[in-house]
Amino acid sequence: MHYDVKNFTLEEKLKLLTGKDSWSTYDAEGKVKSVHVSDGPHGLRKVEDKKTVKATAMPNLAAIANSWSKEAARLDGETIASEYVEKDVDVILAPGVNIKKTPLCGRNFEYFSEDPYLAGELAKEYIDGAQSLGIGTSLKHFCCNNREYERFFQTSEIDERTLREIYLPAFEKALEAKPWTVMCSYNLINGVYASENKYILKDILRDEFGYDGLIVSDWGAVHSEFRRILAGLDLGMPYSKGSYDELKSAYEKGYITEEQIDERVRRVLDLIEKTINDKKTVRFDKEKRHENAVKIAKESIVLLKNEDDILPLKGGKILVEGQLSANPITGGSGSACVETEFVQRPLSELLSEKLGESAKVEYLPSVSIAVENSHNVCWNLRGGYKKAYDSDTVVICVGNNGDIEGESFDRVDIRLSEKQEEFIINTAKYNENVVVVIYAGSAIDTSAWADKVKAIVYAGFLGEAANEAVSSVLVGETIPSGKLSETFPYCLEDTFAGGKTCDGFVDRYSEGVFVGYRYYEKTGTPVAFPFGHGLSYAKFTYSNMKIKKNGETDFEVSYDITNESDFAAKEVSQVYVKDVFAMVSRPEKELKGFSKIEIGAHETKTVTVNLDYRSFAYYNTSLKKWHVENGAFEILVGASSEDIRLTERIDIELPETEQQSV
Ligand code: BGC
């Protein structure tokens, strides 16, 4: 199927650029198909007759990033797309790859990481997976939308190098999977709205990155119809009569030409054609989708602490505490929220079933997510503490809900509610074997209680799969293999400016390229749980690092990982690059490769990671390009950003003609 722009009247063309309603494109009175789009990242959120259709609630992207598994990200995309095919929706309005500049950002649960390399690699798989079923995606929010506070009006004030090195690369990488659409962000970038920012949309996205799909606005992000056309934004969503009228009047005033309109219409027609020409396939039915959600969730759980190997649970009298354990939150609130009809089984019930005769598992709802002024917070605490005193182990389930993590607002701090902290601390006075399970979408300050408990399991927001996956990890059926895709600082004050960078007019990106672990390492700020951290029930040793030079800036890094345990387990290993002497200030080290592999009991496997030009380069604003300086680089292989196991030095020797005088 191919449509010719010439066959449409001016009125039809203007309507094609402004949409038909909230979720679909104009069909030119039946001349073309109307494309249907829906959120979002964690499953289908289709709105029909003002009601949300029930769908499979997948783990949130922040959790999936903790899996460090490209297979999991791909499977997630395929699983979600299957439901889109079934429910006749053409485009998933996801994934979002905005960088976690601060743990306060309300939408961090929807985003992958504080690290652009990890975010880009996983998003690329998600897109590839989804689109392999003939369903489009929308890579969002382009770009520099790293806070929710005043997101419609605040300008992200950022320098060129930071933009290039931190905030664009995840998009750049994900674009390799050719998402059918890219969604612009709400905010302004250096004083110009993203929706009308020619530098961002045309010069960078189209011309430099070579993106030839459709650029769509975030919902209501267009402020000027003619400016967005001139900047290259193809489709303004959702439909409003005002947008159409404004566009028409801009044409009549001569602000935009028919040729410019045609260019944008061409992209809309391309998208419509793709939805017809790309064969749609359902890969997974409802049962299989749920199974996939559980499979992905199991990969994503992070074991933060496990003193005295208290986990996996050994049986005995186990008390499961906290309302969340009976009814875990599936994810944060807002457009990414999926309504599932799946009813999760209580954690206590699943644990009891899995542990069998060896355990007596009881449940008490003594603590729930306490939101300020909420009444239904705690009851019969004394009963809870007494029961804890009489138990061998207490599993306390705590976390956040959609009132704390969600779209259009930021968190105010990163601690659990006071009631939850208090409950953990008090329970630990009556029982020395406390295991805390956290259901949340972003970093948590655990410092008030972390040293008082034996184990901490960070589940994340795991959609409808939470309890099946958490119980499997707690009993050791699944060996935890997730690692943090975001640093957990000791407290908010330890983050850059305590997260206070916005004043409503401007969000200043003055930490520059020092975001996430790059910041803590540069400033020597100790953190509670570093980027890339995650324990296993297995023990892995690293050895035999080799570096093979394949070209001036192409290197093959290999190393062996041995699983010293009696059971198979998965290990995520990370490859960081350090520029030892640089002419500009650079991070201590940066993630440039990673791998997740399963290794059998007492088996050794070799991991190979390739490094290329970009692994060594920084963005030079004088040269206006990525640049590699000759000299020494260290390649660091680690089990986390702080747990570096192997280091080798290499030297880059590019020809004199490619270097600057020093
Ligand atoms: C969000 C987008 C979402 C869109 C449609 C906006 O408010 O920022 O991420 O895709 O709404 O629901």
What confidence tens digit (pLDDT) does each residue in 315-332 have? 999 999 999 999 999 999
Collapsed DSSP state (helix, strand, coil) of residue 15:
helix
Give just the sign of the alpha carbon dihedral 53, 269, 122, 78. Answer: positive
pLDDT in tens, 178-206: 999 999 999 999 999 999 999 999 999 99
Q: Do 260 and 198 contact (CB within 8 A), yes or no? A: no
- Ligand 1 centroid, distance to 183 Cα (angstroms): 9
pLDDT at 375: 52
Q: How far apart are CA 63 and CA 483, in angstroms?
A: 10
Is residue 347 over pLDDT 60?
yes
Q: What is the mean pLDDT of the chain?
A: 96
Counting ligand 1 atoms within 8 A of each CB, the residue from 335, 337, 338, 409 with the most, and so the one to mutate, is 335
Mean pLDDT of 556-567: 98
Q: How far is the CA of 217 from the centre of ligand 1 (A)?
A: 9
**Distance of alpha carbon 19 from alpha carbon 225, whole angstroms:** 13
Quickly list DSSP for 87-132: TT--EE---B----SSTT-TTGGGS--SSHHHHHHHHHHHHHHHHT
pLDDT at 58 (0 to 100):
98
Q: Tell me the pLDDT band of 662, cut-offs 50, 70 and 90.
A: confident
pLDDT band at 6 (very low <50, low <70, confident <90, very high): very high
Compute the average pLDDT of residues 75-84: 98
Q: Is the pTM of this model over 0.75?
A: yes
Residue nearest to atom 11 of ligand 1 (CA): 219
Ligand 1 centroid–CA 152 distance in Å is: 12
Q: For residue 368, what pLDDT is reported?
A: 85
Q: What is the mean pLDDT of residues 574-601?
A: 98
pLDDT of residue 546: 98
Question: Ligand 1 test: best mutation among 235, 407, 409, most atoms within 8 Å of CB?
Answer: 407
pLDDT tens digits, one per residue of 153-187: 999 999 999 999 999 999 999 999 999 999 999 99
Return the closest-CA partner of residue 37 out of 214, 168, 296. Answer: 214
Q: What's the average model confidence in pLDDT over 422-439?
A: 98
pLDDT at 525: 98
DSSP symbol at 496: G
- Give how far Cα 534 sits from Cα of 326, 479, 593, Å: 25, 11, 17
Return the pLDDT at 369: 79
* Residue 461 pLDDT > 80: yes
Average pLDDT over residues 267-276: 98
Atom of ligand 1 nearest to the CA of 185: 8
Ligand 1 mean position to 335 CA, how many Å?
6
Residue with tokens 């520029």: 579
pLDDT above 70 (res 371)? no
* pLDDT tens-place string over residues 48-57: 888 999 999 9
Who lines ligand 1 at CB under 6 A? 39-40, 93, 140, 218-219, 335
- Rounded (5°) CA angle 389-392-398: 75
Measuring from atom 6 of ligand 1, which residue has the nearest CA?
219
Q: Give the pLDDT band (50/70/90) at residue 377.
A: low
pLDDT at 374 (0 to 100): 54
pLDDT tens-digit readout, 301-310: 999 999 999 9
Of the residues 39, 90, 128, 218, only one is catalytic, namely 218
| Centre of ligand 1 from the C-alpha of residue 352, in Å | 41
Which tokens is 360 given? Answer: 């007596």
Answer yes or no: 234 catalytic: no
Task: Provide, rounded to the nearest whole percent, the portion of the chain with pLDDT above 90.
Answer: 96
Query: For 491-541, how does the pLDDT look when each residue is reduced to its tens digit (9 = 90+)?
Result: 999 999 999 999 989 999 999 999 999 999 999 999 999 999 999 999 999
